Structure 1
Amino acid sequence: MTLPTSPACTERTEVRRTAAHRAHLSPSGAAGVEHSVAVIGAGIAGLGMGARLKRAGRDDFVILERAADLGGTWRDNVYPGVACDIPSRLYSYSFRPAHPWSRVFAPGAEILAYLHDTARAEGLEPHLRLNEPLEHASWDETSGCWRLTTPRGELAVRALVMAAGRLSEPKTPRIDGLDTFPGRAFHSARWDDRPLDGLRVGVVGTGASAVQLLPEVAEHAASVTVFQRSAAWVLPRGDHAVAPGDDEPDRAELAAEAERLFDARIAGSPALDALRHRADEHRAAQVADPALRTALTPDYEIGCKRAVFSDDYFATFARPNVALEPSALTAVAGGTVIAASGATYELDVLIFATGFETTRPPFARLVTGRDGQTLAEHWQDGMVSHASTVVNGFPNLFVLDAPNAALGHTSAFEIIEAQLDYVLGALDHVDATGEALDVSSEAEAAYSAEIDRLASRTVWTRGGCSSWYLDEASGRLTLLWPARVADFRERYATFDPAPFARVPASSGAAVS
């Protein structure tokens, strides 16, 4: 539905239009100043949104970032061995592809440097407000604006873009007695960089972060015990250094190759069988001990959980200082930790590589839409949306990289950039009509039904596992887009006003 916009917000937009044709407009950053757009988060999605706004001549925007630096997950995750598991050339903006990557799979520090370079080159620094977390955002029906509250005060914006991501809030399991542990206990995304030399270390988890950090930790610790709740499907990485001038595939080739991997996400497909065989061969080649190999073999279908990539994870278990505990960590009693199997270990350090709050993003509690409903309340049965970007009851709100916007077979940049196109088209429509946009509940329900239909054929719902892709309450696939990126781009990269029914200010009845 489209809603009338206040004269104040309309006037502010006219100022932006005029200034965009005259000269660069740098917002003052003072509390209370209105902007046409506020972007929440300065990670991949937020910086991408800012860059595209600038390139479209839209200078009147602000990017609010709660941390002291930009970079999102690549700022927060600095554990040893952190790197991308997507080829570097594909893990970048299509409009800024050139970068001197040192390896096929870029180390985290290089990705962070790339994001800093992007902010500078795209002129985003004047728009960034660091150390300024969003405390609350509420839709003002009367003025047709979003009212934002931060520690610096309040500001009003015409459109709100949530780019807080899905890997921003570390998730640590509740462990009985953890508060009695006398040593160091921390999440991999909050890395404690004090030395581990000579210490007895426990690594809790076997996902992507654990697979990357284990070989590095094992180089220094006196002993490492890996607590495995469920075994991971591990595929060979094939990483190597890239020298200047090396003949590497370009971004388009890599994107096409990655897109074909979606075939291996269809339950019962020959491509899935081939992927499983490849992983089995990799495990067999690197784990000589039959009992250990069996313990490291998953009991669910490959791809049901996020498959991980490593050339040295399995080999690390051959080290004399590394042991596998094939059950979860369940309790702590002082320096003694207790596994579900009943085994006990004396440890000095606990590293939780246990993932993030994904299906229930904490930012949803901060956003209040029409009728006083928070986004978290709207999503109480799982995240829903239309086009993975707009949500009924939340006018002029655009959510990036959240409901069904992640990808299980290729680079996150691919779908984020399609969402950026959609948002820019929506903003053009708002400018042209002077009305706010609220997608209809019918469109949202239809999109959710389409997601369920597409998901029903995939290994993510039929692979026999529980994963962070699925909502814990409804069991629905709420994180991933369950089809090819090309399908999403064709249907949802271009803004379509049809799902937005018009509603006059004096009535809730739709106008035909």
Structure 2
Amino acid sequence: MRPPGSRPSVTVIGAGFGGIGTAIALRRAGYSDITVLEKGDSVGGVWRDNTYPGAACDVPSSLYSFSFAPNPRWPHRYSRQPEIRDYIEAVAREHGVLDLVRFGVEVATAAYDEDECRWHLTTTTGASLHTDVVVSAVGQLSRPAIPELPGREEFEGPAFHSADWDHDVDLTGKRVAVLGTGASAIQFVPEIAPVAGHVTVFQRSAPYVVPKPDREYTGLHRRAFERAPRSQRAGRLLTWVVTEKFNKALLQDTWMKKAVGLGWRGLLRTQVRDPELRRKLTPDHELGCKRVLFSNAWYPALTRDDVDLVTSPVSRVLPHGVLADDGTEHAADVVIYGTGFAATEFLAPMQVTGAGGADLQERWKSGAHAYLGLCVPDFPNFFVVYGPNTNLGGSSIVGMLEAAAGAVVTLLDRARTAGARSVAVRADVERTFDDEVQRRLRESVWAGCQSWYRGSDGRISTNWPGLVAEYQRRCAALDPADFVLA
């Protein structure tokens, strides 16, 4: 049994930005008994898994990085997947947490023992371990979603999800069917179109696509960032201000929203000359209701003679192609699913049992919810980083993750100082918070259409209804009266 006042053992699940950032925050606060469990073979999370052609971030690198670990040697303003994965590993190594990661370990169950005030974890291989505190940092975009289309298993060629790209499949000269036009598809379609024989893109809903002001950093840039770090910090601050205004534009009509709309319209008109194709590429929902995408290459890719855009829904998958609802058969040698992730199925398939036998998946069957996306009543010493209602429509999620990690440290420090062995949020506090969040979300642009932000019942369980600054303030000003120490 842990002596009162001692620092607890902490197990972090996931080694992406959230898990590595939390481990670093704990280590910097003096916690030494830290274990990070990672189901993959390296750190990076989504930036390890998503290796599709053209994979890159749509937030500038200066902001899409830890505030305490600036990287003056980013090759581009918007970093590519390999660069971000390498950055996460480098930061983990430099801050002494890379050696804390146990790779190839996937947690199957987590159960709280009230007598011991400890969590008992089992892995998918049947191994078990015990810990005082659990921090789940598995993220919202870690489980690819493939639609259950009729005939999907009957397709005779290669078929894979963009997040599980099969690099052994040579697309040269092949007829490729791409299902989906989300953030991944708009990056990989322009990359594969010049190689493939023909690409057929199936679009369920046209996204808003705006210009991406990317550029390659020169040696002069990198020398300036290294010798005058304030220049990079100034760029980060400016980017943060702009993205916060973009976040605000998703919550109310502002000049920024009008500017983004003009950017989309100008890009579409200048890059797509065919009126019929422009009509197909015009969204039927309000700007911001679904994720706004950034690309300079998406529209030109769709104007190629060897690329077709199909707006009729997919009826079924055939052994050698895809059948649309209008009865047209589209031949294909390869099918690529750019169909996103099961973002609203938080922590699944992990089974989590709290105090009194509380079942987290049962608790969340009508939509996930947690205080600050972080704490759930009846689940002492259990925290979720990048949890319910902490996603952003704009800006960098890293700022949210750092704030959440700081809150974890604050709560554990308070429990230790008080001689308590556990900390949990009060049920009435979490309920009041969720009521506030859902009320604000019902007034947001995200309530106006169906998207991956919402569950099948319409509840928005992914997005934060305010600015990043508000979330940071609330995480930094936790009221002790809102929590129960035991």
> Any conservation in 2 of the 1:387–1:492 contact (CA below 8 Å)?
yes
Equivalent positions of 1:233-244 (< 5 A) are 233-244=208-219
Match of 2:77 among 92, 99, 104: 104
8 Å CA contact 1:365–1:374 kept in 2: the answer is no
1:449 is aligned to 435
- SS of aligned partner of 1:438: strand
Q: Where do 1:125-274 residues align within 5 Å?
A: 125-150=98-123, 151=125, 153-193=127-167, 194-246=169-221, 250-274=235-259
Deviations 1:2-51 (A, max 9, x none): xxxxxx0337x73xx5xxxxxxxxxxxxxxxxx61000000110000111
Residues 402-444 of structure 1 show CA distances to partners (whole Å, capped at 9, x for unaligned) of 2011111100001111111100001101211223112111111
Unaligned ranges ≥5, structure 2: 225-231
Corresponding residue for residue 301 of structure 1 = 286
Give the distance between the partners of 1:187 and 1:496, measured in 2 at CA. 44
For residue 40 of structure 1, the aligned residue among 13, 32, 42 is 13
What residue number does 1:488 align with?
A: 471
Q: Percent identity among equivalent residues? A: 38
Give the distance between the partners of 1:356 and 1:373, measured in 2 at CA.
27
Which runs of structure 2 are paired with 1:472-483 in the superposition (5 Å)?
Answer: 472-473=456-457, 475-483=458-466
Structure 1 residues 386 and 418, CA, compared in 2 at 3 Å: closer, same or farther?
A: same
Deviation readout 1:486-507 (Å, 9 max, x if unpaired): 111112234332112467xxxx
Aligned counterpart for 1:460 among listed residues 440, 446, 467: 446
Q: Is the 8 A contact 1:81 1:212 kept in 2?
A: yes
Note closer, same or farther for the CA distance 1:133–1:92 as it changes in structure 2 (3 Å cut).
same
Match of 2:2 among 1, 9, 12: 9
Work out which of the residue numbers 396, 399, 404 in structure 2 matches 1:414: 399
1:70 paired to 2:43: yes
Partner secondary structure for residue 262 of structure 2: helix
Deviation at 1:270, TM superposition (A): 4.3
Q: Deviations over 1:450-471 (max 9, x none)?
A: 1022213321113xx2011112
Once residues 401 and 179 of structure 1 are traced to their aligned partners in structure 2, the CA distance between those partners, rounded to angstroms, is 33
Maintained 8 Å contact 1:132/1:152? no
Instruction: State whether structure 2 residue 306 is matched by structure 1 residue 331.
Output: no
2:58 aligned residue: 85
**Alignment match, 1:357:** 342
Q: Could you tell me how far apart the structure 2 residues matched to 1:269 and 1:98 are?
A: 33
1:175/1:331 contact within 8 Å kept? yes
SS in 1 for 2:132: strand
The CA distance in 2 between the partners of 1:493 and 1:363, in whole Å, is: 29
Distance 2:100 2:255 in 1: 49
Secondary structure of 1:189's counterpart equals helix
C-alpha distance 380-211 of structure 1, shift in aligned 2 (>3 A): same
Name the SS of the counterpart of 1:250 in structure 2: helix
Q: In terms of mean alpha carbon deviation, does 237-246 or 346-355 score higher?
A: 237-246
Letter aligned with residue 169 of structure 1: R
2:321–2:333 contact (8 Å) kept in structure 1 = no
C-alpha distance in 2, partners of 1:62/1:128?
6
Say yes or no: does 1:439 pair with 2:425: yes
Assess if the C-alpha contact under 8 Å between 1:137 and 1:148 holds in 2. yes
CA contact (8 A) 2:111 2:352 kept: yes
- 2:383 corresponds to 1:401: no
Aligned AA for 1:192?
D
Aligned pair partner of 1:283 in 254, 261, 268: 268
Residue range with higher mean Cα deviation, 482-491 or 262-271? 262-271
- Aligned-partner SS, 2:422: strand
Q: TM-score with structure 1 length normalisation? A: 0.89
Which moved further from structure 2: 149-158 or 283-292? 149-158
CA contact (8 A) 2:415 2:485 kept: no
Q: Structure 1 residue 364: deviation in Å?
A: 6.2
Secondary structure of the structure 1 residue equivalent to 2:219: coil
**Structure 1 residues 443 and 160: CA distance shift in structure 2, 3 A:** same
Match of 2:302 in 1: 317
The DSSP-based 3-state class of the residue aligned with 1:338 is: strand
Task: Quote the Cα distance in structure 2 between the aligned partners of 1:140 and 1:502.
Answer: 16
Counterpart Cα distance in 2 of 1:502 and 1:189: 41
What is aligned with 1:428?
Answer: 413
Whether the aligned pair in 1 keeps the contact of 2:377 and 2:427 (CA below 8 Å) is yes
Q: Structure 1 stretch 139-148 or stretch 249-258: which is displaced more?
A: 249-258
**SS, match of residue 225 in structure 1:** strand
Number of aligned pairs?
473
CA-atom RMSD, angstroms? 1.6
* 2:242 alignment partner AA: E
State the 1:254 CA deviation: 1.4
Higher deviation after alignment, 301-310 or 475-484: 475-484
Asked if 1:120 corresponds to 2:103, the answer is: no
Q: Distance in 1 between matches of 2:98 and 2:484?
A: 37
2:229 maps to which residue?
none
Look up the match of 1:471. 455
Give 1:268 shift. Answer: 4.2
Contact 1:99–1:114, Cα closer than 8 Å, also in 2:
no
Question: Does the 8 Å contact 2:421/2:485 carry over to 1?
Answer: no
Instruction: Measure the CA separation in 1 of the matches of 2:219 and 2:440.
Output: 42
**Amino acid of the structure 2 residue aligned with 1:10:** P
- Structure 1 CA distance, aligned partners of 2:69 and 2:313? 43
In the TM superposition, what is the alpha-carbon distance from 1:372 to its structure 2 partner? 1.7
One-letter amino acid matched to 1:315:
P
Please list every run of at least 4 consecutive aligned residues from structure 1 whose deviation after the TM superposition is greater than 3 angstroms.
Answer: 267-271, 362-365
